[in-house]
Amino acid sequence: SPLQRLYIRILWMVPIYSVESWLALRFNDQKVYLETLREAYEAFVVYSLYKLMREYLGDKPMAVAKLKRIGEKKGSDRATMLFPMCWSYKWRLDAQFLTRSALGVWQYVFIRTALAVTACILEMFHLFDEGNFKVNGFYLWNIIILNLSQCWALWCLVLFYHELREELAPIRPLGKFMVVKAVVFFSWWQQMIVTYLASTHVISHYMDYTGEDVAKGIQNLLICVEMLIYALLHKKIFSYKDFRAGGPLSSYMAQMDLKQKDTKAAIGDMIPTDVIFEGASYVVKAKKKIVETVHRHDGHHLGTPVKPPAAPEPAALDA
């Protein structure tokens, strides 16, 4: 089922993090490439968590109907904007809410992946300069953009959960969100701390390793150890028992027309083709909205040649 596929994608996070961190320890010269791939999968997991909640709500008409019922119950058709966006425009509890929350999470996948590819290319030419916090370097702006993108994605996730928490209660979304958020935020700030300590020479070189190498080694070693804890949490929170008879998702499974798949399907489920197609659909919708906006502003469709004004009719001859 779609929910099982999303469970698998999230569960792959622990082995990918563990193996990648061990490989980065073993092959120090390739650590930048390995770590950027790990971070790109992290964004994929965040989006998979959103899709997990969204899939449980049903198709778009069903989800919109549930949002409207929530609006009727609270006496407002607008979402409650959480801190620090309390002052901003309140999203309507309809298709707009679904689209904006999805786009808010998906942008993190796009930005994270784009910056990961950029980092790999710059590293090939020795221009990445990891740990350099100078304004004229790529690394500082890479951190700033990623942090803003990550915060916005997680804020959209929290808002989505906050408005639909009663509808999503059977899948226990809070525990799932907290586990994924812990991995994302804790590993991120842990990396920032050790990198900063290396840049200020609190962490110094050791033998043939630079201070940055030692800092990265500490980060990867900590991740290897921490993944044991997260593996135990994942086993509990993303359990296969949820889909068995009597589990919280048993009624969902009863409505699905399921087919047995072989073990290779678990690897295939990691391929984010659906995420790519959804991203393309967001781009198409954004382009369409821009065209419609320009059309309303100018009074004609974008790209349609403007007809010249009609020539005035000749004045009638006097009798």
Nearest to 16 by CA among 37, 47, 31, 43: 37
Instruction: Judge whether 160 and 50 are in contact, CB under 8 Å.
Output: yes
In a domain, 27, yes or no: yes
In a domain, 105, yes or no: yes
Residue type, 36: T
Predicted local distance difference test score (pLDDT) of residue 137: 79
- Distance of alpha carbon 107 from alpha carbon 286, whole angstroms: 13
Instruction: Summarize the confidence of residues 238-267 as an average pLDDT.
Output: 67
Same domain, 138 and 282: no
Same domain, 278 and 241: no
Instruction: Judge whether 105 and 46 are in contact, CB under 8 Å.
Output: yes
In a domain, 251, yes or no: yes
Among 80-84, 193-197, 226-230, the range with the most confident prediction by mean pLDDT is 226-230
Helix (H/G/I), strand (E/B), else coil: 14: helix
In a domain, 260, yes or no: no
Same domain, 58 and 127: yes
Residue type, 318: D
Same domain, 292 and 153: no
Mean predicted lDDT score pLDDT of the chain = 79
- Distance of alpha carbon 47 from alpha carbon 104, whole angstroms: 10
What is the pTM (predicted TM-score) of this model?
A: 0.76
- Distance of alpha carbon 174 from alpha carbon 224, whole angstroms: 25
Predicted local distance difference test score (pLDDT) of residue 173: 84
Instruction: Judge whether 162 and 124 are in contact, CB under 8 Å.
Output: no
Buried b (16+ CB within 10 A) or exposed e, 244-274: eeeeebeebbeeeeeeeeeeeeeeebeebee
**In Å, what is the CA distance from 131 to each residue of 37, 46, 141, 179, 290?**
18, 25, 12, 28, 40
Q: Which residues is 92 bridged to in the sheet? A: 78
Domain that holds residue 198: 2-255
Nearest to 39 by CA among 114, 106, 151, 105: 114
Instruction: Judge whether 195 and 213 are in contact, CB under 8 Å.
Output: no
Instruction: Summarize the confidence of residues 81-97 as an average pLDDT.
Output: 83
Per-residue pLDDT band for 316 (boundaries 50, 70, 90) equals very low
Predicted local distance difference test score (pLDDT) of residue 318: 43
In a domain, 170, yes or no: yes
Predicted local distance difference test score (pLDDT) of residue 149: 92
The last residue of a domain, from among 226, 255, 284: 255
- Distance of alpha carbon 187 from alpha carbon 220, whole angstroms: 10
Predicted local distance difference test score (pLDDT) of residue 120: 83
In a domain, 20, yes or no: yes
pLDDT (tens digit, 9 = 90+) per residue, 102-122? 999 999 989 988 888 888 888
Q: Enter the tokens of residue 40.
A: 């790109």
- Distance of alpha carbon 28 from alpha carbon 34, whole angstroms: 10
Task: Give the total number of structural domains in the chain.
Answer: 2
pLDDT (tens digit, 9 = 90+) per residue, 29-44? 777 778 777 878 888 8
**pLDDT above 70 for 319:** no
Nearest to 104 by CA among 96, 114, 115, 113: 96
Same domain, 68 and 22: yes
**pLDDT above 60 for 17:** yes
In a domain, 276, yes or no: yes
Same domain, 244 and 175: yes
Q: Enter the tokens of residue 97.
A: 């809410």
Instruction: Judge whether 215 and 203 are in contact, CB under 8 Å.
Output: yes
Q: What percent of the chain is modeled with pLDDT above 70? A: 80
pLDDT (tens digit, 9 = 90+) per residue, 153-186? 989 998 999 888 888 888 888 888 888 888 877 8
Predicted local distance difference test score (pLDDT) of residue 263: 60
Same domain, 184 and 293: no
In a domain, 307, yes or no: no
**pLDDT above 80 for 28:** no
**pLDDT above 70 for 302:** no
